[in-house]
Structure 1
Amino acid sequence: MCFYNQKRFACGDWSWTSFAHRCNYEYRTGETCGMRLVNTTEFETAQCRLCEKIETKYRRRSAEMDRLTRWKREGGTLVASMDKSQKIIMDLEKEIRQLQRERDEKRKALA
């Protein structure tokens, strides 16, 4: 039951930060017992790494979708570019789902 500081992000996720102090159960010098308890919680206004990645993918997908609708509206001269853009959108959606699944698994493991 060694004590660590915790960082809580705006999205609700959290992570361990620095070691605070050792408990009485571990007698070896420089060792910790393996159990982590929260000493203090630091609140971050930013989101966690996974949420930032997901937001970035959403913005990129939105830009690709806007580009694709503009090309369709202006005419069908850029068919190869439209096909490539559709593939990029599908790949981004797959990456977003994978990141969201990773975030959900992390939250379930800690709950």
Structure 2
Amino acid sequence: MCFYDQYQMYCGDYKWGHFRQHCSKEYRTGETCGMKLVMTTIPKRDKCKLCSKIDTKKGRIVKEQERINRWQHEQKRGHQRVASIEASQQQIAQLEWEIQELDYQRNEAMQSTR
């Protein structure tokens, strides 16, 4: 049970920081026992990497939806945008799948650390 800093992210996730102190169960000099305890929790204003990626992909989805709405409005005036709309819809589906994958990875990481 060695002691480490813990960085608490804005999104609620955390990551381990620097090693701070050995415990009494130290087996060999210079090695840690493998169990981590929190010495100090350091709050951070940033989100974790996975949450940042999810936010970026959600922003891209909003952008694609705005493009689709604009193209549908242009179609009413006689411009053909069917292929562009279909491509954007496929892009949105791909982004939603990637978000699901990132959510799964985030949930797995949360489960493994608790």
Superposed displacement of residue 27, structure 1: 4.1
Mapped pair 1:11 → 2:11: yes
Aligned residue for 1:22?
22
Distance 2:27 2:110 in 1: 33
Q: Using the alignment, how far apart are the partners of 2:31 and 2:108 within structure 1? A: 30
Deviation at 1:82, TM superposition (A): 1.3
The one-letter code of the counterpart of 1:37 is L
State how far apart, in whole Å, the 1-side matches of 2:110 and 2:91 are.
Answer: 29
- The CA distance in 2 between the partners of 1:27 and 1:106, in whole Å, is 28
Amino acid of the structure 1 residue aligned with 2:86: D
Kindly tell me the number of residue pairs found equivalent between the two proteins: 111
Asked if 1:33 is matched to 2:36, the reply is: no
1:91 aligns with 2:94: yes
Please give the secondary structure, in 2, of the residue aligned with 1:33. coil
Paired residue for 1:110? 113
Q: Which moved more, 1:77-86 or 1:9-18?
A: 77-86
**Pairwise CA distance, 1:108:** 2.3
User: What residue identity is the alignment partner of 1:103?
Assistant: R
Instruction: List structure 1 runs of 4+ shifted beyond 3 angstroms.
Output: none
2:51 maps to what in 1? 51
Identity over aligned residues, as a percent?
46
Q: Give the secondary-structure state (helix, strand or coil) at the position aligned to 1:93.
A: helix
Q: Secondary structure at the match of 1:96?
A: helix
> Could you tell which deviates more after superposition, 4-13 or 70-79?
70-79
Aligned alpha-carbon RMSD (Å):
1.1
Which residue identity does 2:65 align to in structure 1? M
Consecutive unaligned residues of structure 1, counting only runs of 5 or more, are none
Query: Which residue type is aligned with residue 4 of structure 2?
Result: Y
**How much does 1:97 deviate?**
1.1
